[in-house]
């Protein structure tokens, strides 16, 4: 999606969005629900409220199948390019540090949030769960953009 079609939000933003994506780029990696992108897998909510608190933390509120409202808080930053960025995991280990041919391990899961020009929530998810020992490498990495409709 081009930058002209993206609106960035600040710490004053709040809105409610569908939990199910209506569109996903990078679909070969699947199309998880909004709460699943934030690694909240047990919830069965229809919609999710997105609010930023005074400290710039992201607050997700949803009503679970048992009728109780649950809230999850995530620490992130508003980056210069306008996105709100959250690292759910950000671990990297390399031996030696400059050229990791002996051993390396990555466990990264990053989310970037923005709004479309139509007011829909865009979540850009990039992950790297890989590692290697000498010449043997294993793991998975990828990137997807998911779009969630705003509720009135």
Question: Does the residue 22 lie in any domain?
Answer: yes
Asked whether residue 6 is domain-assigned, the answer is no
Is 83 domain-assigned?
yes
Beta bridge partners of 19: none
pTM over 0.85: no
Owning domain of residue 142: 11-148
What domain count does the chain have?
1
Residue at 1 is within a domain: no
60 in a domain, yes or no? Answer: yes
Reported confidence tier of residue 4, pLDDT bands at 50, 70, 90 = low
Residue 3 lies in a domain: no
* Residue 90 resides in a domain: yes
pLDDT confidence band for 120 (50 / 70 / 90): very high
């Amino acid at each position: 999606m081009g930058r002209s079609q993206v609106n960035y939000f600040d710490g004053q933003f709040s809105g409610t969005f569908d939990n199910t994506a209506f569109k996903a780029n990078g679909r070969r990696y699947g199309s998880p629900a909004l709460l699943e992108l934030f690694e909240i897998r047990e919830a069965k909510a229809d919609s999710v409220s997105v609010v930023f608190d005074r400290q710039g933390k992201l607050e997700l509120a949803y009503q679970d199948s048992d009728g109780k409202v649950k809230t999850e808080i995530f620490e992130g930053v508003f980056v210069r390019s306008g996105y709100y960025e959250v690292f759910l995991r950000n671990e990297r280990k390399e031996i030696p540090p400059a050229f990791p041919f002996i051993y390396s391990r990555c466990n990264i899961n990053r989310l970037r949030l923005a709004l479309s020009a139509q007011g829909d929530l865009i979540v850009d998810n990039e992950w790297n769960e890989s590692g290697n020992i000498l010449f043997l490498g294993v793991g998975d990495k990828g990137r997807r953009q998911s779009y969630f409709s705003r509720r009135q």
